[in-house]
Structure 1
Amino acid sequence: MNYESSFGGDSITARSEDVHDVDTVQTAKSRRNRIIALVVVIALLIAGGIYFFGGKAETAAGEGASAGAGGSDSQAPAVTVIVPGSGNVERVINATGTLAARREMPVGIAGEGGQVIRVLVQPGDWVKTGQVLAIIDQDVQTQQARSLAAQIQVAQADSVLAQNELDRALQLVDRGFISKADVDRRRATRDSAVARVEVARAQLREAQERTGRLNIRAPEAGLVLERNVEPGQVVGGGSGVLFRLAARGEMELRAQMSEADLALLNVGVRAEVRPVGAGKSYEGQVWQLAPIIDATSRQGIARISLAYDKGLRPGGFASAAVISGSTQSPVLPESAVLSDDKGSYVYIVGKDNKVERRDVQTGAVTPRGIAIVGGINGQERVVLYAGGFLNPGETVRPQVQGRARS
């Protein structure tokens, strides 16, 4: 009986162990299925991402294989390059200086002077040649002229009387009433009277000229710059300059330049002048170059002539851009030209798409960019942007933007 009970208990125990093994197996299969499903989902997500964001799966695989093999040109950074060519570039010299009248005329007293009655002009007025600028009292000179005019009449009366006496004497000499000596004396008297008439007329003209010189007149047409006289003032030969005129209103900029820049200029070259505070520039041309150089500053003066404009005020400060000539040079945008302690340089992309540093000499800065006067000929592929992030010898994928306009 005990045996049977014991046997029965073992059977129950065995069945319990079998059931436990079955549950364990099912649990393991379920876990494995979940892992497989998770892997499949992850693989599908990766494939979808590659398809939508990186191309087809096989392409991505190919690129991955290539990357695993050590990389290729497709992994090189893309850079924008430009072939600048060569164009006509104006050589510009920049300078500063002071505005002034091109030919300044000081006007003072030409006559004996006197008291000023009226001043007829103001600074900024235009005047004609011979126009009266100021009137001086002429009462005394007017009376003197009248006296001289009366003396002319007296002399003319004497000359008429002398002529009549000579005519009568010539009629009587043939009859023997008077001698030829008397006729000669009357002829001399007549000639003296005629001469006194001429003397009186000359004295009157002299007085009139002196009176006319009392008024202050413009020696030439131009612009009044200064007025240094007022009504009631007594002026004379020692009064100094009463007016200053700019002949024909012409102005100039006296531009300070180095001796090296002066050597590049010629009379007649074009220039653009911009006064301080002015909203526009004025066209002019160099009409005179200084024959000497200041020994201290090592500078000379280039005089740039300008037509009159109310925006040009003598004594004002202005800058000038003088066109000293033109050359054939490549022009690059500022983004392509780099610099360091060795100077200016650019990056060139060679035939093997490797970056090469090229030292250059820069010229004038134009609206189109920086002129390159040495280092390249314009046929190279020059890196346009992000040159500071490249290194010499690095492989890149160049994308040509296009040939720059010359």
Structure 2
Amino acid sequence: MPNQRPLLLIGALCAAMLSLTACSGDPSGRERTAPQVGYVTVAASAVPIAAELGGRTVAYESSEVRPQVNGLIRKRLFTEGSVVRAGQPLFQIDASLYEAAAQQAEANLASAEASAQAADEKAKRFEPLARMQAIAEQDYTDALAAARVARAAVAQNRAALETARINLRYTTIRAPIGGRIGRSLATPGALVSASQAAPLAVIQRVDPIYVDMQQSSAELTALRRSLASGGTRPGSTAVTLRLEDGSNYAVPGTVEFSEATVNEATGTVTLRARFPNPGGLLLPGMFVTALFEQAVEPDAILVPQQAVQRDFDGSAFVYLVGKDDKVARRKVVTTRTAGTDWVVSSGLAAGDRVITQGTGNLKTGMAVEPVPASRPQTIGAAGGSQAKDE
């Protein structure tokens, strides 16, 4: 029929267009493009091996104030909790008996000196008489011996006087070191002795101050082996502190030494660091956390943490931009973190392009459009279309 021919022609044209659209595989009629991914090119670099160890503060110097003579305490001469200087008087012991002993020693010395002088004069008078044989030789020999005995007695009494004077000085108990003194453990009127076990007070010097840290002997052994083999280099001795409240101590310190023995009970080795403490913020016995670079790994490879994925067995892998911009899957071994990166010990080489963005639906062998991760980009789902709607 004549009026049906245009309708048949239009239907045939529509069927042809639908056939072409179905053959293209994209209902929108646009060509599918390779997904864009961001990558970083890895390189070997020196990465410090950071140690974070718990520890406690220890006084730089500590001294227990003890009496060196017996007696009653008459006075306390310091303020508890104050800073004292070395040699400052702290306690006064009753000195009456020691003053009397010193006076007696002086008198004994004077008597011995007088006897020695008389013995010397007698020996001098006997000498010419002995040469003239006016007296027996034995008498002269006895006089010489008596003079020597008298001089020895003088030396003994002089030493006794010095001992008495020392004991008298000890009745004033002085600070052996400078530092902050604690509370008094003895009051006036208390009887003290040189052999007592309890101290009268304790003085601690806290500027500078030590921090004793504990590290596993296994970790320390592994580090020493790595240093010996050349796998790592010695790190810095500078150390920082994190206090109990989470804040950081403003002044850095220095690691000084480690113990030569392992604590059998804990299996740890003690490391000691020294810190300036001019404001007295750090007190002995505080728990702190020390952070320092114990060694440096010279040829470490860092990979951003978001690039590393885990397989079903827990092993790590990354996606690489391989030959012809196709995706390659590579297993890696990650040993530790450094900031926001993983330290990869094996599986990667300098120059590898590791995909860090757009890893959601990647498959091995898939063609991608690699873009440096540092450049602004639009990351789409792998296999998806990035063409803008017309």
Pairwise same-fold verdict (TM > 0.5): yes
Of the three residues 94, 97, 119, the one matched with 2:55 is: 97
CA distance in 2, matches of 1:289, 1:191: 56
Q: Which residue of 2 aligns with 1:272?
A: 240
Q: Which amino acid aligns with 1:337?
A: V
Residues 251-276 of structure 1 show CA distances to partners (whole Å, capped at 9, x for unaligned) of: 43333333331213459962433332
For residues 190 and 314 of structure 1, what CA distance do their matches in structure 2 show?
Answer: 61
Mapping for residues 325-364 of structure 1, pairs under 5 Å: 325-327=295-297, 328-339=299-310, 342-364=314-336
Deviation for aligned residue 1:96: 1.4
Relative to structure 2, which stretch is displaced further, 340-349 or 83-92?
340-349
TM-score (norm 2): 0.70
Deviation at 1:288? 1.6
Deviation at 1:90, TM superposition (A): 1.0
CA distance, structure 2, for counterparts of residue 208 and residue 250 of structure 1: 36
Contact 2:73 2:91 in 1 (8 A): no
- Structure 2 match to 1:229: 185
Superposed CA deviations along residues 81-128 of structure 1, whole A, max 9, x for unmatched, are 111211001112322122223665545334445426334475573644
Residue aligning to 1:140? 97
C-alpha change, 1:201 and 1:286, in structure 2 (3 Å) is closer
* 1:350 shift after superposition: 1.7
Larger Rg: 1
Partner of 1:197: 154
- Cα deviation digits, residues 280-322 of structure 1 (max 9, x gap): 3632215124623546x5x413322213413332211111234
SS of structure 2 residue aligned to 1:263: helix
* Mean Cα deviation higher: 163-172 or 143-152: 163-172
Q: Give the distance between the partners of 1:135 and 1:145, measured in 2 at CA.
A: 17
Q: Which residue does the alignment assign to 1:263?
A: 221
CA deviation profile, 1:329-383 (whole Å, cap 9, x unmatched): 1223333334465244332222233333333333443346332222212322112
1:355 counterpart letter in structure 2: V
Letter in 1 for 2:116: S
Q: Which amino acid aligns with 1:288?
A: S
CA contact (8 A) 1:225 1:246 kept: yes
199-208 or 95-104, which deviates more: 95-104
Deviations 1:190-219 (A, max 9, x none): 434333322211111122233344444555
In the alignment, which residue of structure 2 is the partner of 1:3?
none
Question: Structure 2: how far apart are the matches of 1:95 and 1:175?
Answer: 91
In structure 1, stretches of 5+ residues that fail to align are 1-64
Q: Name the Cα RMSD after superposition.
A: 3.8
- Mapping 1:1-400, distance limit 5 Å: 75-101=33-59, 104-112=62-70, 114-115=72-73, 117-120=75-78, 123=81, 125=83, 127-128=85-86, 133-170=90-127, 182-217=139-174, 221=177, 223-224=179-180, 226-232=182-188, 233-236=190-193, 237-245=195-203, 251-265=209-223, 270=237, 271-277=239-245, 278-280=247-249, 282-285=252-255, 287-289=257-259, 291-292=261-262, 294=264, 299-309=267-277, 310-327=280-297, 328-339=299-310, 342-367=314-339, 369-388=341-360, 390-400=362-372
**Does the 8 Å contact 2:49/2:293 carry over to 1?**
yes
> After alignment, is 77-86 or 109-118 more displaced?
109-118
SS of equivalent to 2:255: strand
Decide whether the 8 Å contact of 1:149 with 1:204 is kept in 2: yes
Range with bigger deviation, 308-317 or 275-284: 275-284
Asked if the contact 2:305–2:340 (Cα under 8 Å) also holds between the matched residues in 1, the reply is no
Distance of aligned partners of 1:142 and 1:401 in 2 relative to their CA distance in 1, 3 Å threshold: same
Deviation at 1:132, TM superposition (A): 5.1
- Give the AA of the match of 2:324: D
Higher helix share: 1
Deviation at 1:149, TM superposition (A): 0.8
